[in-house]
Amino acid sequence: RPLRARTSSFGRAGGSLAVALTPPPSPGDSGKVSTVVATPGQGPERPQEVSYSDIKVIGNGSFGVVYQARLANSGELVAIKKVLQDKRFKNRELQIMRKLDHCNIVRLRYFFYSSGEKKDEVYLNLVLDFVPETVYRVARHFTKAKQPIPVIYVKVYMYQLFRSLAYIHSQGVCHRDIKPQNLLVDPDTAVLKLCDFGSAKQLVQGEPNVSYICSRYYRAPELIFGATDYTSNIDIWSAGCVLAELLLGQPIFPGDSGVDQLVEIIKVLGTPTREQIREMNPNYTEFKFPQIKAHPWLKVFKPRTPLEAVSLCSRLLEYTPATRLSPLEACANAFFDELREPSARLPSGRDLPPLFNFSAVELAIQPSLNTSLIPPHLRAQSTLLGCAPGTPATHGECWRSGAACCAGGPGLSPPSTHILMHPQRRGWEHPFPACWEQGVEPGRWPRHADCSFPMQALTGASQHRGTARDPSPMRPEGLGGAGLGGRPPPHPMDLSEL
């Protein structure tokens, strides 16, 4: 019989009303089924019963405890992160995780509250995707075997990390604790998911932040200099440290203390100039440092390290925060070109994990990079955007399946509602999926005569024509009328512009 939890309400501390399990999960009860009333991580705030079993501890630290459990309804494994909650404040990690939705970020499935052993002690429980390994443990496996980690894994892992950073930074979120231990990976598929947003913060310009943040080996120099007005570029520095560590087989800056950490950095980058110090923290410009020359990057790494990898490290590990590459600039770097080859595979022979299922949100971050980010063989297939729920997109699989995930307007049914939101233009355009199905030349706005698309709710068949250089607009009513607010497309699109 399922263990029916005694419940109590803890109001809205940290989020919406949630009802909790008492007592909290215990490894001694691993065979029992526990049932709680939890709130979904995304979507409407509709608490629902969630049952799970097979509970065991898989991690702990200053933040709390992490359990592994199995959902009763699906049999899926999940991780439950249990942290002590101060009822006076909203939990920042919960607030941030509820707004994030990306394939390279661990997903918040549910959350609920539980009471502790002490009176008025309340714990927040985050039910997350379970991913079995970390980049840290994978790298340690190769180090113990006295082997370098295969470069293809370095590329696949780092690419996905940069993609996750591009997304969270576009949402105004800085992770502030990027390190190999917080990069979850599936050893079979090589899918990477960024986890542990316990230190993350929505950065606001002009609002001070604590500088004592981020694990020491991965701490950006501006943090060591005590900056409180830093940007998300501290994550880029940390990512550069992770890349260097994977290439070296050990941390690149293994400082024993905060000051020693800066010494380790200076050994490689040399003494920062007065201007570089000013960019990191203006209060330190008069501080005197011993003058040390930079160590050549090629001599930092082993002789067979790919030159593109060395070059990428040098662009990430810059003293001046603003000169570091952006996450998407890193993704577009030549070091990752191998991943964009149609023949690229994992060492096991398996396909690479999804790397190019970009959402409209991602493609709107730096539109000028989109041509570099989308491999030519995928551009030619008009498979341009990933299919995130509720996101307008033109993904080939969506056209073929008629999936509703990209539906663009209320009252319309797929596939006629697969609407493309052009990342570089405002307004809507309709690519007529059936035309793409029939292999109309990519980059052209097909003529009505080229396809047998059932117009269904659409009208204006005579306007279904032209090319990217034919500015003839379709009538608003041809795009579902009120369903899209009567907004006409600006003009037909040229896929090559993406």
CA dist 241 and 193 (Å) reads: 18
pLDDT above 50: residue 384: no
pTM for this prediction: 0.74
Per-residue pLDDT averaged across 293-311, rounded? 96
pLDDT at position 177:
97
Q: Per residue in 445-467, pLDDT tens?
A: 333 333 333 333 333 333 333 33
Query: Could you give the residue numbers annotated as active site?
Result: 177
pLDDT at position 141:
97
Q: Which residue has the higher pLDDT, 296 or 439?
A: 296
The reply to whether 82 sits in an annotated binding site is: yes
pLDDT above 70: residue 370: yes
Least confident of 20-29, 142-151, 170-179, 376-385: 20-29
Dihedral (Cα; 270, 276, 278, 281), 10-degree rounding? -70
Q: 380: pLDDT confidence band, cut at 50, 70 and 90?
A: low
> Is the bond preceding residue 415 a cis peptide, omega within 30 degrees?
yes
CB 243 within 8 A of CB 312: yes
Per-residue pLDDT averaged across 346-354, rounded? 97
Q: Which residues pair with 129 in a beta bridge?
A: 78
Q: 285: pLDDT confidence band, cut at 50, 70 and 90?
A: low
pLDDT at position 471:
34
Nearest to 178 by CA among 226, 230, 148, 220: 220
Per-residue pLDDT averaged across 469-481, rounded? 32
Q: What is the mean pLDDT of the chain?
A: 77
Per-residue pLDDT averaged across 395-402, rounded? 36
Q: Per residue in 40-54, pLDDT tens?
A: 999 888 999 999 999
Nearest to 124 by CA among 95, 164, 163: 95
Q: How far, CA to CA in Å, does 21 sit from each of 9, 16, 25?
A: 10, 16, 8
Q: 436: pLDDT confidence band, cut at 50, 70 and 90?
A: very low
CA dist 480 and 337 (Å) reads: 40
pLDDT above 70: residue 227: yes
Q: Per residue in 66-118, pLDDT tens?
A: 999 999 999 999 999 999 987 777 789 999 999 999 999 999 999 999 988 88
Q: Secondary structure of the chain: what % helix, strand, coil (to 5)?
A: 35, 15, 50
Q: Per residue in 305-314, pLDDT tens?
A: 999 999 999 9
Fold of 3-129: Phosphorylase Kinase; domain 1 (3.30.200)
pLDDT at position 378:
87
pLDDT above 70: residue 168: yes
Per-residue pLDDT averaged across 367-389, rounded? 71
pLDDT above 50: residue 382: no
Per-residue pLDDT averaged across 13-19, rounded? 40
Per-residue pLDDT averaged across 206-223, rounded? 96
Q: 119: pLDDT confidence band, cut at 50, 70 and 90?
A: confident
Please give the CATH architecture assigned to the domain spanning 133-340: Orthogonal Bundle (1.10)
Least confident of 4-8, 279-283, 387-391: 4-8
Residue type, 467: T
Residue type, 124: L
pLDDT at position 28:
55
pLDDT at position 325:
99
pLDDT at position 29:
59
Q: Which residue has the higher pLDDT, 19 or 102?
A: 102
Q: 229: pLDDT confidence band, cut at 50, 70 and 90?
A: very high
Show Cβ contacts of residue 429 under 8 Å, excluding neighbours closer than 6 positions: 419, 420, 422, 489, 490, 492, 493
pLDDT at position 87:
72
Return the H-helix or E-strand segment holding 53. strand 48-61
What's the residue count for the chain? Answer: 498
pLDDT at position 63:
78
Per-residue pLDDT averaged across 230-253, rounded? 98
Query: Alpha carbon 404 to chain centroid distance?
Result: 23
Q: 27: pLDDT confidence band, cut at 50, 70 and 90?
A: low
Percentage of the chain with pLDDT > 70?
A: 69
Least confident of 68-82, 315-329, 484-498: 484-498
Nearest to 391 by CA among 167, 128, 113, 86: 167
Per-domain boundaries in the chain: 3-129, 133-340, 358-498
Residue 241 has which token pair? 């440290």
Least confident of 19-28, 244-253, 387-396: 387-396
pLDDT above 80: residue 209: yes
